[in-house]
Amino acid sequence: MTLLEKIPTLGDAELKVLLANARRLDVTGTPEQRRAVAEVITPLEREASRRRSVGRGGR
């Protein structure tokens, strides 16, 4: 299972930590780390946004 496939199954705390790390590496990471982050940051952001929306009763 790839990281992209695991995103929907992550707990809220895991998602929060992973997203924070991805944001940090997107700014301070090596070129290789930044390329890797580029593949996952948008799906992480979308999942976090979806969960916030669901938490407020929206969908």
Q: pLDDT (tens digit, 9 = 90+) per residue, 6-20?
A: 999 999 999 999 999
Q: Residue 24 falls within a domain, yes or no?
A: yes
Residue 13 maps to a domain: yes
- Has residue 36 got a pLDDT over 70? yes
Number of domains in the chain: 1
Whether 14 is covered by a domain: the verdict is: yes
Q: How much is the average pLDDT of 28-49?
A: 97
The verdict on residue 58 lying in a domain is no
CA dist 21 and 23 (Å) reads: 5
Domain extent, residue 16, equals 3-53
**pLDDT over 70 (residue 5):** yes
Neighbours of 29 (CB within 10 A): 15
* Residue carrying structure tokens 């938490």: 55
- Whether 45 maps to a domain, the answer reads yes
Instruction: Determine, yes or no, domain membership for 33.
Output: yes
Residue 28 belongs to some domain of the structure: yes
Cα–Cα distance for residue pair 56/41, rounded to 1 Å: 23
The pLDDT of residue 59 is above 60: no
